[in-house]
Amino acid sequence: MPILGILASSTRVAAGDFESIATVTVGSGGSSSVTFSSIPGTYTHLQIRGISKTNRGYSGNIVDGFYVSLNSTGATKYHQINGFANGSVGANATEPIYTIQNGSGTTAIATEVFGAQIIDILDYSNTNKYKTTRALWGADGGANTWSGAGMIGLNSVLHSITDAVTSISFTPYIGSLFLENTTFALYGIKSA
């Protein structure tokens, strides 16, 4: 399996393998969003692997989230379920936070610390069903975060669209910019 942003050395991809489609890395000055567009419909599922950080300032909590928009539909979805490492669980039909990342600010968080996410989009090109995304994420904020040393969790979301997914966009939830070196890598997964 290739690592973030790296295509396996073999040009042949077997069923069930991951094939790199595109990678976006935010440059200096940051970016208010990250978008993958013109996604080919030749895979069974998609996976996004990310490391991210926003410019959210410290306000007693150094974590942040981001919206995930499929085909520019915004945060529209039927249901979201969140699970956290501290044992709490939440469900909400409108909450826009999808996954979590470190914020920056006046805390002693090292600049090289980023949140990490793996997001799967299942059956993304099937036009006979709503789109399902699931994510595993984590952020280590040190002792300054409200959750202690950091957070890990998972999300499952049913998006209210049946169109094939041709674009995916991410925008920060509380912060206004993704910071430099935030990276999202998009992979296609072939069917067996």
Mean pLDDT of 145-155: 63
Model confidence, pTM? 0.80
Q: 21-67: per-residue pLDDT in tens? A: 999 999 999 999 999 999 999 999 999 999 998 887 766 556 778 88
Judged against a pLDDT cut of 80, whether residue 190 lies above it is answered with yes
Judged against a pLDDT cut of 60, whether residue 77 lies above it is answered with no
Q: Identify the residue with better confidence: 90 or 117.
A: 117
Task: Find how far residue 159's CA is from the centre of its chain.
Answer: 15
Domain residue ranges in the chain: 18-149+156-161+171-189
In 77-107, which positions are buried (b, 16+ CB within 10 angstroms) versus exposed (e)?
A: beebebbeeeeeeeeeeebbbbbbbbbbbeb
* Least confident stretch, 77-81, 117-121, 130-134, 177-181: 77-81
Query: What six digits make up the tokens of 42?
Result: 């030749």
Tell how many helices (H) and how many strands (E) occur in the chain.
0, 12
Q: How confident is the model at residue 191 (pLDDT cuts 50, 70, 90)?
A: confident
- Using CA atoms, how far residue 181 sits from 16, 40, 47, 87, 153, in Å, is 29, 26, 19, 31, 23
Beta 63-70 vs 168-172: how paired, if at all?
antiparallel
